[in-house]
Amino acid sequence: MKKIALILFTLLLLPSQSWAHAWLKLRIATTEYPPFTSTEMEHDGYINHITRQAFLEAGVVVEFTSMAWEDALKATLDGKYDAVSYGNFVRTREDEFWHSKPITAENLVFLSRKDSGIDMWETLGDLKAHTMGMTEGYLYTDELSKYIKDNESVATRKTDKDNINALLNGDIDIFPIDELTGWYLLQSEFSKEQRRELHHVQPFISTITTHLLVPKDQQDSRLVLELFNRGIEQLTLDGKMQRFKRLLKQGFYQNPQKPVNYDRR
End-to-end alpha carbon distance in the chain: 35
Q: What is the pLDDT of residue 263?
A: 43
Domain co-membership, 111 together with 154: yes
Residue 63's alpha-carbon distances to 48, 69, 114, 182, 225, in angstroms, are 10, 17, 43, 28, 16
Amino acid at 26: L
Domain co-membership, 8 together with 133: no
Amino acid at 213: L
Domain co-membership, 126 together with 83: no
Is-contact 160 190, C-beta < 8 A?
A: no
Q: What is the pLDDT of residue 20?
A: 46
Is-contact 60 227, C-beta < 8 A?
A: yes
Domain co-membership, 180 together with 109: yes
Q: pTM for the complete prediction?
A: 0.81
Domain that holds residue 166: 105-208
Can you tell me the distance from the alpha carbon of 108 to that of 219, in angstroms, rounded to the nearest whole number? Answer: 35
Domain co-membership, 98 together with 225: yes
Helix orientation angle between 221-237 and 46-56, rounded to the nearest 10 degrees: 100
Is-contact 13 176, C-beta < 8 A?
A: no
Taking only the tens of pLDDT, the chain with its 265 residues reads: 544 454 544 554 444 444 445 689 999 999 999 889 999 999 999 999 999 999 999 999 999 999 999 999 999 999 999 999 999 998 889 999 999 999 999 999 999 999 999 999 999 999 999 999 999 878 778 888 889 888 889 999 999 999 999 999 999 999 999 999 999 999 999 999 999 999 999 999 999 999 999 999 999 999 999 999 999 999 999 999 999 999 998 889 987 665 544 443 3
Q: What is the pLDDT of residue 254?
A: 84
- Which conformational region is residue 251 in: left (phi greater than 0), alpha (psi within -120 to 50 degrees), or beta? left
Domain co-membership, 86 together with 124: no
Q: What is the pLDDT of residue 146?
A: 87
CA 58 to the chain's CA centroid: 22
